[in-house]
Amino acid sequence: MNAKKRKLEADLSESFIKLQRDLIGRGPQETKTYIVQDMVIARFKGVLTVEEKHLVDHEKGRILVKQMRQVLREMYSNNIEEIVEQYTGCKVLSSHSDISTKTGERIEVFVVDKDLEKLLESTKG
């Protein structure tokens, strides 16, 4: 695999973690970022707080946690999209996010204006 692609994926992961720590006070236990064609996909493991883990045991709690996390995501969507644009040099066309209250994972998908994977393959090294 392309070393430049691996480094960009790692740099994005680190920046996503830092943003979450700065804005929310804690980051995920693990983050992995993947560049696939014109998408940047980030997978965050261990994002639920202790309180949220208790809440998701009940239906109303699951709904509340998902709603709260969606509001938080909307509040910092510009910040996280700016990170993608800054590191990739691509414009973010759309972004999507969801959290699993079952596994405690969150997925972020950013659709960018170029085939970033192909660009990185053409600039190996």
What are 54-100's pLDDT values in tens digits? Answer: 999 999 999 999 999 999 899 999 999 999 999 999 999 999 999 99
- Residue 52: pLDDT band with limits 50, 70, 90: very high
- Whether 24 has a pLDDT exceeding 70, the answer reads yes
Give yes or no for residue 9 having a pLDDT over 80.
yes
* Mean pLDDT along residues 97-125: 91
Residue 123 in any domain: the answer is no
Q: Does a structural domain hold residue 36? A: yes
pLDDT of 125 reads: 54
Q: Domain limits at 64?
A: 3-117
In a domain, residue 102? The reply is: yes
Q: How confident is the model at residue 122 (pLDDT cuts 50, 70, 90)?
A: confident
Does residue 15 lie in a domain region? yes
Q: Tell me whether residue 56 is in a domain.
A: yes
**Is residue 116 scored above 90 in pLDDT?**
yes
Spell out the SS3 assignment of 29-81. CEEEEEEECCEEEEEEECCCCHHHHHHCCCHHHHHHHHHHHHHHHHHCHHHHH
What confidence tier does 4 reach under pLDDT thresholds 50, 70, 90? very high
Is there a contact between 2 and 121 (Cβ–Cβ < 8 Å)? Answer: yes
Q: What are phi and psi of 24, to 5 degrees?
A: -110, -20
Across the chain, what does the average pLDDT equal?
Answer: 93
The amino acid occupying position 8 is L
pLDDT score at 26:
82
80 lies in a domain? Answer: yes
pTM for this structure?
0.91
Write out the H or E segment, with its range, that includes residue 5. Answer: helix 3-24
Domain count, the chain: 1
122 within a domain of the structure (yes/no):
no
Identify the CA nearest to 74 among candidates 55, 92, 97: 97
